[in-house]
Amino acid sequence: MESNAELPTEEQLRDALRQVDDPEVGMNIVDLGLVYRIDIAPGKVHVELTMTTPACPMGDLITANALRALGAALPQDTVVDVALVWDPPWTPDMMSESARQTFGWPG
């Protein structure tokens, strides 16, 4: 019987995903605003993320790296699903304040 105390928090999973960089821009996918949704249930985690553009050639690599990072942060028997989504389209407004400053975007 699993208890809710054993479930990871969304912030713990976001911390794990901060280890995943978009190699084209050299910044992690959380600060870039690419992680749209994290659903946590007993024995299962579902994450929806996007790329800065549908033409991004790094989508498969970033998705695989996100799966790897989450798998390392979760109990071995946890089912991890990472889905690449395109709605809503990513915009620079989705970046963290520090990411916008790094790229010179107005905050």
Q: Say which CATH number the domain at 70 has.
A: 3.30.300.130
Q: Give the contacts of 86 (CB within 8 A, at least 6 positions apart).
A: 50, 54
Does position 81 have pLDDT exceeding 50, yes or no? Answer: yes
In a domain, 38, yes or no: yes
Residue 1: pLDDT band with limits 50, 70, 90: very low
Residue 16 lies in a domain: yes
- What pLDDT was estimated at residue 68? 97
Residue of 74, 26, 25, 77 whose CA lies nearest to 47: 74
In the chain, what percentage of residues exceed pLDDT 90? 83
Nearest to 58 by CA among 79, 29, 30: 29
Question: Is 75 inside any structural domain?
Answer: yes
**Angle between the N-to-C axes of helices 59-73 and 10-17, in degrees from 0 to 180, rounded to the nearest 10:** 130
- Whether 36 is covered by a domain: the verdict is yes
Residue at 28 is within a domain? yes
Indicate whether 77 belongs to any domain. yes
Domain containing 40: what range?
A: 4-100
Q: Does 106 fall in a domain?
A: no
Cα separation, 96 vs 94, in Å, equals 7
User: In this structure, are residues 9 and 17 in contact, taking their beta carbons and an 8 Å threshold?
Assistant: no
Q: Is 22 helix (H, G, I), strand (E, B) or coil?
A: strand
Whole-model pTM: value is 0.90
Does 105 reside within a domain? no
Average pLDDT, the chain: 92
Total domains in the chain come to: 1
